[in-house]
Structure 1
Amino acid sequence: MNRSIRIYIYPHRRDDPFRNVLAPVDFEPGGNYASESYFKKVLLKSHFITKDPLRADLFYMPFSIARLRHDQRVGVGGIQDFIKDYIYNISHEYPYWNRTGGADHFYAACHSVGRSAMNKVDMVRWNAIQVVCSSSYFISGYIAHKDASLPQIWPRHGDPPNLTSLKRKKLAFFAGGVNSPVREKLLQAWSNDTEIFAHHGRLKTPYADELLGSKFCLHVKGYEVNTARIADSLYYGCIPVIIANHYDLPFTDVLNWKTFSIVVATLDIPLLKRILKEVEQEQFLTLQENVMKVRRHFQWHLSPVDYDAFYMVMYELWLRRSSVRIPF
């Protein structure tokens, strides 16, 4: 993959009125939707780019859902029309989309609005590769193995902490807004427990300290199946417990999630403590050891590092490249 895959990025004019949407951000991304901006920013500087579309394995459509969301000229209500016009323009100005109906094209989006952004362009939803954080089997526009799950990651600097289970006194931890029936069910069952710490609202202690002091960290479906909590858990060496049905987990074509996480069905929330306590010490240590191994795959760097999140996304794209090159 590192030697062979080549990507052509659709260009835009310097005076394009939506250059802010098509160009990479000129600052270091932050927040919940940083993955989208990081990927674009790093990709444009990488050796994977080709200016010759005849050499390209894939074609990147560089619009940013997050920036469209906050652009007053577009906003949430105008994103679908913007994408529709964008696809119309590239399909009439260039021959590449029409060769495959967009099957060798892709875009990346982490904002939750992205799951409905393609509703007016069925060819994108059914044919193009969607690299998105909102990667749920339950959403009709997302097709597993054609599309790819992008992890939601808060950017962090420096080396991650190296801690052992001996410093982890709490069984499990969760903190977040109650914005889904699943989280409501979790808090109803465990908000007053002495071993599972489920919090709603602002914490009195630093968030990082809670992650560092817990054996298991709960990733509970909110408005979407995805949150940054999985990457948070891995960063702080805490075994992620995924309570989000229909979640196509990030890099699932590459990583064996059973070796470093526990998946609990939402119906089994009342059994959560029993499930976690049935994890024997040897199994727990193996899970934690694997957490320490895989967390490098869930980190962004402005200059990519082998096997980090950028290279993982590139490998997912490489797995999805067409095996048939269509001649002009």
Structure 2
Amino acid sequence: MNKTLKIYVYPHKRDDPFANVLLPSHSKPGGNYASESYFKQALMSSHFITDNPSQADFFFLPFSIASMRHDPRIGVGGIQDFVKDYVFNVSHKYPFWNRTGGADHFYVACHSIGKVAMDKAEEVRNSAVQVVCTSNYFVQGYVPHKDVSLPQIWPRHDDPPVVDPSKRKKLAFFAGGINAPTRKYLVQTWQNDSEIFAHAGRLKTPYSTQLLRSKFCLHAKGYEVNTARIGDAIYYGCVPVVLADHYDLPFADILNWKSFSVVVATADIPSLKRILRELGFEEYLRLQRNVVEVRRHFQWHVKPVEFDVFYMVMYELWLRRGHVRIFSF
């Protein structure tokens, strides 16, 4: 993969009036949706790029959902029309889309708006590879094994902290906005418990403090199945507990999530303490060691490092190249 995978990025003029939503952002990625910016910056400076479309395994549609949201000429309400027009122009100006019906094309989006951005461009949603954070296989528009689940990760540049597992005294931890039934149910069930710290809203103490004190960190579905909490947990060496039904977990085609996380159905929230206790300390230690092992796969770097998030996404694309069918005319 590292030697042969090639990506062709559809070009545009630098004075294009919408160059700001087609060029990779040169600003420092930040916030909940940094994964989109990180990927674009990493790709454009990587050896995977080719200027020769005949060599390409995939064609990248370089529009930025995050940038379109903030462009007053487009805004949230205009994203669908922009994508529709962009794909129309690409498919009529270049021959590559029509060779495969778009199956060897992909785009990247982390914001939840990306889920509906293709509603007027069904050919993208149905054929192209969608590399998205909102990887909910219960909702129309996302297709597991065709599309790619992108982890939602906060930018971090320091080395991860090291805490001996024996010093993690809390069984489990959650804090966050109560913006979905799953979170409401979780907090109502466990907010007064002495072993599970379940808190509604922001903490007065640093979020990282509780992540480092806890054996297990709870990823509970909010507006979407994805949040940055899995990335947070892994960075701080806390075993993720996934409470998000229908979440197509990032890199599930590559990583064995059972080896470093615990997936619990939301219906089993009342049994959460029993489920975690029954794992036992030895099993917890195994899971925690594996969390440390997989951490490199959930980290972004300004200059990509082998096996980091960028390379994991590229390998996911590599796995999908065999599904592309070239049409002859």
TM band (smaller chain): over 0.9
How far apart are 1:324 and its partner, in Å?
6.1
Offset from partner CA, 1:81-140 (integer Å, 9 cap, x none):
000000000001000001111000000000010000001111111100000000001111
Q: Return the letter of the residue paired with 1:41.
A: Q
Partner of 2:260: 260
Give the letter aligned to residue 258 of structure 1: K
The answer to whether the Cα contact below 8 Å between 1:101 and 1:127 also exists between their aligned partners in 2 is yes
Q: Kindly indicate whether residue 149 of structure 2 is the aligned counterpart of residue 149 of structure 1.
A: yes
Q: Which amino acid aligns with 1:235?
A: Y
Q: What is aligned with 2:93?
A: 93
Number of residue pairs aligned between Structure 1 and Structure 2: 328
TM-score of the pair, normalised by structure 2? 0.98
Structure 1 position 33 matched with structure 2 position 29: no
What is the deviation of 1:72? 0.9
Q: Can you give the 5+ residue segments of structure 2 that lack an aligned partner in the other structure?
A: none
Q: 1:68 aligns to what?
A: 68
How many angstroms does 1:281 deviate by? 1.2
Q: Residue 57 of structure 1 contacts residue 322 of structure 1 at CA under 8 Å; is this kept in 2?
A: no
- The whole-number CA distance in structure 2 between the counterparts of 1:320 and 1:204 is 45
- Cα deviation, 1:8-65, whole Å, max 9, x if unaligned, reads 0000101111111000111110110000010000000000000000000000001000
Deviation at 1:202, TM superposition (A): 2.1
RMSD: 1.1
Q: Deviations over 1:262-297 (max 9, x none)?
A: 000000001111111111111111000000000110
Q: Secondary structure at the match of 1:199?
A: strand
Tell me whether 1:204 sits opposite 2:204 in the alignment: yes
1:289 aligns with 2:289: yes
Q: Which residue of 2 aligns with 1:169?
A: 169
Alignment-mate amino acid for residue 260 of structure 1: F
Aligned partner of 1:44 in structure 2 is: 44
2:317 aligns to what? 317
Runs of 4+ with >2 A deviation: 322-328
Match of 1:120 in 2: 120
**Distance (whole Å) between structure 2 residues aligned to residue 127 and residue 290 of structure 1:** 35
With structure 1 as the length reference, what TM-score do the two structures score? 0.98
What residue identity is the alignment partner of 2:301? H
Following TM superposition, by how much is the alpha carbon of 1:325 offset from its aligned partner in structure 2, in angstroms? Answer: 7.0
Q: 1:57 is matched with which residue?
A: 57
Question: In structure 1, the residue corresponding to 2:14 is in which secondary structure?
Answer: coil
Q: Which runs of 5+ in 1 are unaligned?
A: none
Rounded Cα–Cα distance in structure 1 between residues aligned with 2:177 and 2:307: 32
Q: Percent identity?
A: 69
- Letter of the structure 2 residue corresponding to residue 246 of structure 1: H
